[in-house]
Structure 1
Amino acid sequence: MHFDTLALRATHQPDPTTGAVAPSIHLSTTFARNETNELPANFIYTRPNNPTRESLEKAIAMIEGGAVGMAFGSGQAAAMTLFQALRPGDHVLLSTDAYYGTPALLEQVFHPWGLTYTRVDMSDLDAVQSSIHEHTRVVWCETPSNPMLTITDLLTVSRLAHEVGAICVCDNTWATPVLQRPLDLNCDVVMHSTTKYFSGHSDVLGGALVFKHDNDFTKRVRLLQGLSGAVPSPFDCWLVSRGIKTLGVRVRAQSLTAQAVADFLDGHPAVEKVHYPGLADHPDRALIQQQMNGPGAMLSIQIKGDADDALAFMGKLTLFTRATSLGGVESLIEHRASVEGPTSTTPKNLLRISIGLEHAEDLIADLAQALR
């Protein structure tokens, strides 16, 4: 099936008793047993499992083409639970350009516990190969990356990971399964911050993991999901499921607008550089066309000048909301280095832009007046 049909089929489950087209929200934290002390539907308590969460988990597994899906209270909770499934002494290989919360999690939580990690430029395949060793258990990719939109060759990196018995995990938040399917590129696990495009309306926090196989490692992560309790509420699961129904049409519309915005900004005399996978002269254009179905709706730009110049430009915009996060129906812009803090390696003149569903001509007019 095409993605839009698949997304609807995955989340469209009319109630067999009432015929209700919109799915029910099962808010109950506990579930009754019958006269013989048996559980009618194998639900006992909402922390390990809940009917609404189970429906979401099956849907995200279906649209990513995986065997098992797991929903979490945030993207960070999903990442943390996966790292918890490792052992002291295990090694993680992580991109130098990745969401800043992922290395912070490794450095501040898991490194003192005994996990080791190395950061490497994932676009340099020789560097990736030389950094993987016998203790590497996870190779964590993020493509396109946050905030520089670096592209990683998932087929090659997953092969290098498998050669040492490691698993390849891809943070697919920015591309979404609409534009990129890492499990089809031999990755083992896909991670999402469902706060972003899956929910799509900036009103729910969530995360997800999708596993290609239901193996011992998958079962260990499932165990930790229930033990730690870092799970979304039934209402949050319902909101994410509702967002999935329109995921395809939103992402494609946003991507078309992002392409128009990037083309306008590319070469503008007030813009130093545009980072966007859809640019005609992108150095990884062949790889992008090989593993992605479109360039996405995220871009970063570097304003000519310093941080003050970038902030001054951002302050003149009227249609872009100055806020953290991405993937919503409204266009957002942020000065990424300020958000990441004093240890940030992001260029000080860089602004990260999430394109929403406004008309492209209106967004371009707003950018043009702010750049004058």
Structure 2
Amino acid sequence: MSDGFATRAIHAGQEADPATGSVIVPIHATSTYAQDGVGGMRAGYEYSRTGNPTRTALEECLAELERGRYGRAFASGMAATDAVLRAVLRPGDHVIIPDDAYGGTFRLIDKVLTGWGVEFSPVRLSDVDAVRAEIRPETKMIWVESPTNPLLNIADIAVLAQVARQAGALLAVDNTFASPYLQQPLELGADVVVHSTTKYLGGHSDVVGGAVVTSDEALHERIAFLQNTAGAVPGPFDAWLTLRGLKTLAVRMERHSANAERVVAALQSHRKVSKVLYPGIAEHPNHDVAVKQMRHFGGMVSFLHADGEQAALEVCSRTRLFTLAESLGGVESLIEHPGRMTHASTAGSLLQVPGELVRLSVGIEDADDLVEDLLAALG
């Protein structure tokens, strides 16, 4: 397969159908498969929870895009996250997470895994010394988001991979915000990558899914076992929709990033904005790391409203093109208030987000229209 990202996105795992010549992977809408005698599977398929040809095509493409050997697709990003955590952690183990992690990841660890005897420490991952200080003999994983959700902090993945390796722990990276087009954590030393394919990979806000990619055979076998045993797999139509989205990932990420830069420039000069959070600006504390490990800086932008939480809520209700909604990464622009929406589960914890924070998922509409919409909402 060619080294070109867009070429791999369109062709990896997606050869023309040998029976019909169809250039698009068929939707194999079947729950089971005829066998050639007892135990005689055709092409390795027996039951669609275990394997489905449409899902296989997606998994092969995902692995190619992340430069991994093995890909596994899940029914949601949280199902993928859960599989990785359960594949690695056991009662008594310890995991380090970002101190501004996605609320759903925090909720899973804080409300579910701790009941199983797993301990965790929230740490600012851009502070490598702070990460080292939290490592214990029981530490089995460092969980990274970069950029983080919603504060858009950047972790030095290559450095953290070394720290994890020295501690005998695994480095897992949630690459949802960047996508494999902007950043490839396995190439930087990570052991496993997780995605909510609902977001940029699907790209059209019409499918929910997740993915795990690794080159570690033993880890892959544990994840594959959990995928089949727990059964949180995407249906063939969901896999097909995600494959369709992947074909345009490269061109979409270019437009998301370009539009975000225009939005950031407008926000930086607005008197109602006290701070813009975006790794592409020189003022960002981790800008140099972002430049080193990312192709562009993505379509996610957060900002703090100078007049506080109520003003931030009002901005979220006044936009016309930016739709008030959770999720991100679709072709349409979205706006949300993390403290009341996606990160409400962090209220009262060390991970609570500022009340004046607004998060934008900048879509691929005309940039001039998006800027005009935001400026009107800000007043």
Give the TM-score normalised by structure 2. Answer: 0.95
Mapped to 1, the partners of 2:228 and 2:367 lie a distance apart of 44
Q: Which runs of 5+ in 2 are unaligned?
A: none
Superposition RMSD on alpha carbons, in Å? 1.2
Corresponding residue of 2:370 = 363
- On the 8 A contact 1:11/1:242 being kept in 2, the answer is no
Corresponding residue to 2:60 among 58, 61, 67: 58
Give the Å deviation of 1:54.
1.0
Q: Which runs of 5+ in 1 are unaligned?
A: none
Mapped to 1, the partners of 2:197 and 2:127 lie a distance apart of 29
- On the 8 A contact 1:11/1:245 being kept in 2, the answer is no
1:201 aligns with 2:204: yes
Corresponding residue of 1:243 = 245
Matches within 5 A, 1:113-152: 113-152=116-155
Give the Å deviation of 1:37.
5.0
Mapped to 2, the partners of 1:259 and 1:242 lie a distance apart of 27
How many residue pairs are counted as aligned between the two chains?
Answer: 371
Q: CA deviation digits over 1:187-244, x for unaligned, max 9?
A: 0100000000010010100000101221x22211111110000111111001001100
Mapped to 2, the partners of 1:264 and 1:346 lie a distance apart of 23
Worse-matched range after superposition: 292-301 or 306-315: 306-315
Residue aligned with 1:94, SS: strand
Mapped to 2, the partners of 1:370 and 1:220 lie a distance apart of 49
Matches within 5 A, 1:61-80: 61-80=63-82
AA aligned opposite 2:287: R
Q: CA deviation digits over 1:233-291, x for unaligned, max 9?
A: 11100100110000010011111000011011113111111101111332222211111
Worse-matched range after superposition: 82-91 or 218-227: 82-91
1:15 aligns with 2:22: no
Mapped to 1, the partners of 2:346 and 2:82 lie a distance apart of 21
Residue aligned with 2:301, SS: strand
Give the Å deviation of 1:302.
0.9
AA aligned opposite 1:237: A
Residue aligned with 2:18, SS: coil
Q: CA deviation digits over 1:103-131, x for unaligned, max 9?
A: 21011111111111111110111110111
Specify whether residues 36 and 300 from structure 1 end up closer, same or farther in structure 2 by C-alpha distance, changes over 3 A only. Answer: closer
- On the 8 A contact 1:71/1:206 being kept in 2, the answer is yes
Corresponding residue of 1:26 = 28
Matches within 5 A, 1:305-344: 305-339=307-341, 340-341=343-344, 343-344=346-347
- On the 8 A contact 1:33/1:40 being kept in 2, the answer is yes
- On the 8 A contact 1:335/1:352 being kept in 2, the answer is yes
Corresponding residue of 2:234 = 232
Mapped to 1, the partners of 2:299 and 2:237 lie a distance apart of 27
- On the 8 A contact 1:93/1:138 being kept in 2, the answer is yes
Corresponding residue of 1:268 = 270
Worse-matched range after superposition: 23-32 or 11-20: 11-20
Mapped to 2, the partners of 1:36 and 1:325 lie a distance apart of 45
Task: Give aligned-pair identity as a percent.
Answer: 44
Matches within 5 A, 1:41-56: 41-56=43-58
Matches within 5 A, 1:276-287: 276-287=278-289
Specify whether residues 48 and 35 from structure 1 end up closer, same or farther in structure 2 by C-alpha distance, changes over 3 A only. Answer: closer
Corresponding residue of 2:302 = 300
Q: CA deviation digits over 1:84-120, x for unaligned, max 9?
A: 2222111111111111111210111111111111111
Corresponding residue of 1:154 = 157
Specify whether residues 37 and 155 from structure 1 end up closer, same or farther in structure 2 by C-alpha distance, changes over 3 A only. Answer: closer
Dislocated runs of 4+, deviation >4 Å? none
1:87 aligns with 2:69: no
